[in-house]
Amino acid sequence: MIVVEGLCVRFGEVEAVKNVSFAVPRAASLGIAGESGSGKSTVLRALSGLNDAWSGRMSIDGIRLAPRRGRDFYRRVQMVFQDPYGSLHPRQTVDRALSEPLIVHGIRDAEARVLRALSEVALPASVRFRYPHQLSGGQRQRVAIARALMTEPEVLLLDEPTSALDVSVQAEVLNVLADLQAQRGLTTVMVSHNLAVLAHLCPMIAVMQAGEIVETLSTDDLRAGRTRHPHTTELRALSAGFEEA
């Protein structure tokens, strides 16, 4: 479903992403791990169309991607951002936030779609006419996920979707994402600095350092400590749930 080959992203003299390649089968999930500045979010922004200053080849469902994308692309590919406080307009109700993608893409049956999306992210219908400041951080991120679902995308890109949340709330949001991926057959790419968070959703994980993928391994190998690159071993030791005995 997703193929990335030789992706390079440069900001002035800085090469932020260096010859990154990976593939994600349809309805599968890939995690991309790395510390801050490793290039993981830059990869996601290039794939999502938010950064058009890249070179290499990328395709979705066999369709090669150009730096600038059309409306059809954004109906099929949606992104959930890190900060649930900043990704929702403070003066728009939840209903407005969820209805706006439908208006942009000319999709009808807004009432049923809004209620379905809220149900899928385990939010009661009563939050529909609330404002973001009236919701908890976890509820806000669920609204952001629901908004991404409104166009019925096939690909969901997740940029540290739980890092701004308390640990207890992180698990709830990850469970929602896992259920959605299974129910809708979504192809997902999630980036995080925390390997344990990625392992909750992704059977395969690519580890980045200094703009490069230094290792790709299965979650089973990660749990068993079968890492090959020292940076993966270091990240595993720093991630809650993967501490060395």
pTM summary value: 0.92
Categorize the per-residue pLDDT at 158 as very low, low, confident or very high, splitting at 50, 70 and 90: very high
Instruction: Flag whether pLDDT at 16 surpasses 70.
Output: yes
pLDDT mean across residues, the chain: 92
Please provide residue 226's backbone torsions phi and psi, each rounded to the nearest 5 degrees. Answer: -85, 70
Report the pLDDT value the prediction gives residue 244, as an integer from 0 to 100.
42
> Quick one: average pLDDT of 161-172?
85
Instruction: Flag whether pLDDT at 193 surpasses 60.
Output: yes
Q: For Cα atoms 238, 171, 215, give the angle at the middle one, nearest 5 degrees.
A: 40
Report how far residue 201's alpha carbon sits from residue 179's, in angstroms, rounded to the nearest whole number: 10
For the chain, give the percent of residues with pLDDT over 70. Answer: 98
- Of residues 192 and 84, which shows the higher confidence score? 192
Report the pLDDT value the prediction gives residue 163, as an integer from 0 to 100.
84
Report how far residue 122's alpha carbon sits from residue 142's, in angstroms, rounded to the nearest whole number: 8
Report the pLDDT value the prediction gives residue 166, as an integer from 0 to 100.
83
Please count the other Cβ atoms lying within 10 Å of the Cβ belonging to residue 103.
11
Helix (H, G, I), strand (E, B) or coil at 243: coil
Instruction: Flag whether pLDDT at 15 surpasses 60.
Output: yes
Q: Are 76 and 105 in contact (CB under 8 A)?
A: no
Token digits of residue 126? 């009563």
Report the pLDDT value the prediction gives residue 239, as an integer from 0 to 100.
80
Among 44-53, 129-138, 160-169, whose mean pLDDT is lowest?
160-169
Report the pLDDT value the prediction gives residue 245, as an integer from 0 to 100.
32
Helix (H, G, I), strand (E, B) or coil at 196: helix
